[in-house]
Amino acid sequence: MAHDHAHEHLGSREADRRSLTIALALIGTFMVGEIAAGIVASSLAVLSDAAHMLTDAGALAISLIAARLAARPARGAMTYGLGRVEILSAQANGVTLLVLGLIIIYEAITRLVSPPRVTGGLVLGVAVVGIVVNLLAARVLRSDSQTRTLNVEGSYRHILTDLYGFIATAVAAAVILGTGFQRADPIASLVIAALMLYAAYGLLKASGRVFLEAAPAGLDPERVGPELAAQPGVVEVHDLHVWEVTSGFPALSAHVVVRSGADCHELRRELQTLLRDRFDVRHTTLQVDHEAADQPPLQIEVAAPERE
């Protein structure tokens, strides 16, 4: 069963690498043109998107490296392998989004006070192309959403935030062309920054849960323990720990006490099957012991002293 699980992990990692490579090619190609257009148009919204695209490219590159490292087999001191490199990558993506969002907020407030002249037509053209490119990249990364790792999720949120940002930029450009309201550009930048901060919060929270070894989202330890203890032959379950080694790799350990006459090996197999089928936890370590048999009270005989 562990062999099948390893193959599932390997297939997922290979799919992740393919998706990340395609998305990186799309984003990197478009980013160069966007930086030039933002400078020519004097648009903070476009330059904000370009900066975000740069972080997208960096996030995708880091995620790709992390996916390659995570695919390496466990050896030496790394008994779980390098799977948590992907969680580090997701956390780095979250921090990048947070810092960049704060910088954009500062610059947007400055431009709200003193708005520069923005070339609305060029901004609108760049935004429309950006929407198309990010839609393609998002579709590539979302192709296997059920098994998407937190590593790929970090890159996906970068792309999705950028997609919404381009939509906001397109709206701002249309407003500038239609009304001449130049402050629409920094207002769009504030919307983009808010989306970045929201995505950063989600990534930092999810990666923090893994590093703090919290139970995987959607898996309640308060349900697992009673389910195990309710099985025939089980007396008690304690020292129950559920954590996530890396994305899609939950693990569980527990001490199980069974009745004195029960087949502890068969019960262990049944409990492992229950954990796999009902909770999708395949990596389990169960210490199974028999309950202490009742013993009669200890009789101590004291010999009478010999008479002289």
Q: What is the pLDDT of residues 190-224, one digit of tens each?
A: 888 888 898 889 889 988 888 888 888 888 888 99
Beta bridge partners of 286: 254
Is residue 49 included in any domain, yes or no? yes
Tell me how many domains the chain contains: 2
Flag whether pLDDT at 6 surpasses 60: no
Beta bridge partners of 253: 241, 285
- For residue 104, CA distances in Å to 128, 197, 269, 298, 305 come to 21, 11, 55, 78, 96
pLDDT band at 307 (very low <50, low <70, confident <90, very high): low
Same structural domain for residues 91 and 11?
Answer: yes
Same structural domain for residues 261 and 197?
Answer: no
The percentage of residues in the chain with a pLDDT greater than 70, rounded to a whole number, is 84
Q: What is the pLDDT of residues 27-40, one digit of tens each?
A: 878 887 777 777 77
Longest CA–CA separation in the chain, Å: 126
pLDDT reported for residue 167: 87
Mean pLDDT (the chain, rounded):
79
Question: Structure tokens of 272?
Answer: 């492992």
Is residue 307 included in any domain, yes or no? no
**Structural domain span for residue 84:** 2-211
